[in-house]
Amino acid sequence: MPGPAPKPEILAAFEAAKGFMPVDEGLALYAAAAEAGRLGLPLLEVGTYCGRSTILLADAAREAGVTALTVDHHRGSEEQQPGWDYHDPETVDPEIGLMDTLPAFRRTLHKAGLEEHVVALVGRSPQIAAIWNSPLGLVFVDGGHTDEHANADYEGWAPHVAAGGLLVIHDVFPDPEDEFTGQAPYRVYLRALESGAFTEVSVAGSLRVLQRTEAGIRAHG
């Protein structure tokens, strides 16, 4: 999706932050967030980790005069646990022996000068979505990669995307050989298209940007 690019210092902060999103996908996310920000509604991501993508959402939100929201329990998703390829021992709290990415996330935002533009919602996505009742300009789904978690994120948050708003899905891999975490985001992407409520507007790597075209999502979409 054509759109503005982040300032050099924001892009540098993004590249320096702990995380997995490549630059080309980050630029596409920023462009989507800048576009969605024109609706004057908050921008929300599911799956914070250490705040790499949050930097881009927060800066786009700052430019648009809206708030960036980020949802995560900060205990890490399945593929980030000990013994998995995406595990980082530095994210483990030595006192309790569990992952805790919240301190790293806060440091990331502080270094980027974006703390005041972000509201961190610390908890499990379905619990927070169940009590959420406000429209959103953008929902970025980048949480757990099991079918259970990916579908719960879609079901909980996609209905809150305002008309004309954007649903952005990360790690969409049509070929199961492409990514060991599986195809759950790909199946959610297909589900969104089949719902009739969203149409695809851009693709960048594994990032898919969909726009809300209808007020409702069919129950079995």
H or E segment and range at residue 198: strand 198-204
DSSP string, 128-178: HHHT--S-EEEEEE-S--SHHHHHHHHHHHGGGEEEEEEEEE----SSTTS
The active-site residue out of 73, 74, 117, 145 is: 145
170 as an active site residue: the answer is no
Residue 60 · residue 51 · CB < 8 Å:
no
Q: Name the 3-class secondary structure at 118.
A: strand
Structural tokens at position 3: 């759109």
Structural tokens at position 75: 């205990």
Give the separation between CA 58 and CA 116, rounded to whole angstroms. Answer: 9
Which residues are marked as active site?
145
